Amino acid sequence: MAVSYPDVIGEYTSTTERFAVTGLQFTGYFEPTKITPGKTTNLHLFLQSTLNVPITAQLNLELPQSGGFLQSKKPQLKTKETIFNLKLAPAEAGLLTIPITTTEYVKNGPLEVKVEIKSKPQGKGKRIRPQKSASKLANTFFPTMADLNLVGTLGATYEERPVKKAPFTLTVSGKQNPEGRAPQLDSSYETIWVESNMQFFNQAVQELNSRQVKLKDEMNVEPLYVNLYGESVARFSDAGLPMRIGEAITMAKMLTYSCQYFLSSPKRQNGLLVPIWERALAAGGDTTDALDVLRSYGFYHILKLSTAMSFGIISKTFKKQFWSIEEQQVVSNHIADSIETGQKIDLEFLYLPLLMAGTQISSKVKLQGENVSQTLALMQAARAARTTLFIDEDMAQADKVYDKILKNIAK
């Protein structure tokens, strides 16, 4: 096999199955997965070339029909077109989005849409994607790696399944509820990764490999904590949410803890560092000072990983998943995007889940001369002063979870 390119599909979906036809891996899902009659959903199909030559592909959509053996069959779903012709460059990954709605013949229940792909490589080419793969990241804290910019460096766990037709299931339930206007059923194809994206990825990997020993010294707990403390205080203040002293300490500990989780393992460290260095190099930034790179180009990545990891810490602590994966992803994206752009962020997103998990792991990031009990007391005082925290009924569960964390660490 030629050089193996980063997995792209795994950044968008956690499925461990890749459907396969000549020269292509693909998978997908409906969003939303459940609709009422008359509403519209989107079938998102992710495709990634497995060859280093161009590929042409024809996709045929097979929509479910009603009616039995002796009855005339009627289509239950409809879309603007059922045949799609695509051209993929070498190693290209793309997203085909197909809007689908119901017809007057639809019946409640699960409906299966089948996708048949016929592909043809332009030349022999060499394979650049393995038939199966295993991620280097254990799912201790991360139930999914999708949307965390980790898969490119740490890989995704999947296995190819050659198919003639791939099934995707949609559920229709409820009474007829038309849109009120004709649904927009135009499909779209978007290239989401091309071979040229490897330039800065490779540069980042090479630079980090050459500086491994020095980077380890530069990113010890103390300097990492100090830099993340200052950066988080400034960033949250810019987003209209200045932190109290206990909150700032706990936040910096959570960010430091998540960084150390990756840095402590040679198998995991590139998941933290490569996306940051890749971004810095693409922007033409100076990468001489590692901690400055983390602050200037890496805070978004660190914050997003820390938020996702915080949910994992809470789940592991109570051996229970309080929020769905989808809810966790929405919160992680909202926090990271808001802090990166300086948009105002509501108070509950400071605590849920970052300070909740930060309180839980506070004793695991002990600083020189620190009295951990005093730090926790400052955190409790900060929380007590936030009288409007979790007043929303929807956040009542978060309030109870945090109370349990505080009781647990007080024992």
- Model confidence pLDDT, tens digit, residues 280-305: 999 999 999 999 999 999 999 999 99
| CA dist., res. 285 & res. 273, Å (int) | 15
- Tell how far CA 101 is from the center of its chain: 27
Q: 250 with 364: CB under 8 angstroms?
A: no
β-pairing verdict for 40-49 and 24-31: antiparallel
| CA dist., res. 74 & res. 105, Å (int) | 6
Every domain of the chain and the residues it spans: 9-193, 199-410
- Model confidence pLDDT, tens digit, residues 105-122: 999 999 999 999 999 999
Q: List, as one string, the DSSP characters of 308-333.
A: HHHHHHHHHHHTS--S-HHHHHHHHH
Which pLDDT score is estimated for 1? Answer: 47
pLDDT band at 177 (very low <50, low <70, confident <90, very high): confident
β-pairing verdict for 24-31 and 17-21: antiparallel
Which pLDDT score is estimated for 392? Answer: 81
Q: Which of 192, 214, 103, 204 is nearest to 153 (CA)?
A: 204
Quickly count helices (H) and strands (E) in the chain. 12, 15
Q: Specify the CATH number of the domain 9-193.
A: 2.60.40.10
- Model confidence pLDDT, tens digit, residues 3-43: 568 899 999 999 999 999 999 999 999 999 999 999 999 99
| Tokens coding 283 | 């922007």
Task: Quote the mean pLDDT of the chain.
Answer: 93
Q: Is the pLDDT of residue 258 over 70?
A: yes
- Model confidence pLDDT, tens digit, residues 141-176: 999 999 999 999 999 999 999 999 999 999 999 988
| CA dist., res. 310 & res. 332, Å (int) | 10
| Tokens coding 162 | 């050659």
Which pLDDT score is estimated for 183? Answer: 85
Which pLDDT score is estimated for 216? Answer: 84
Q: How many residues does the chain have?
A: 411
pLDDT band at 69 (very low <50, low <70, confident <90, very high): low
Q: Which of 137, 143, 145, 146 is nearest to 314 (CA)?
A: 143
Q: Which of 345, 259, 252, 249 is nearest to 302 (CA)?
A: 259
Q: Is the pLDDT of residue 57 over 50?
A: yes
- Model confidence pLDDT, tens digit, residues 340-399: 999 999 999 999 999 999 999 999 998 999 999 999 999 999 999 998 888 887 788 888
pLDDT band at 2 (very low <50, low <70, confident <90, very high): very low
Q: Which of 83, 94, 29, 16 is nearest to 55 (CA)?
A: 94
| CA dist., res. 227 & res. 296, Å (int) | 11
Which pLDDT score is estimated for 408? Answer: 83
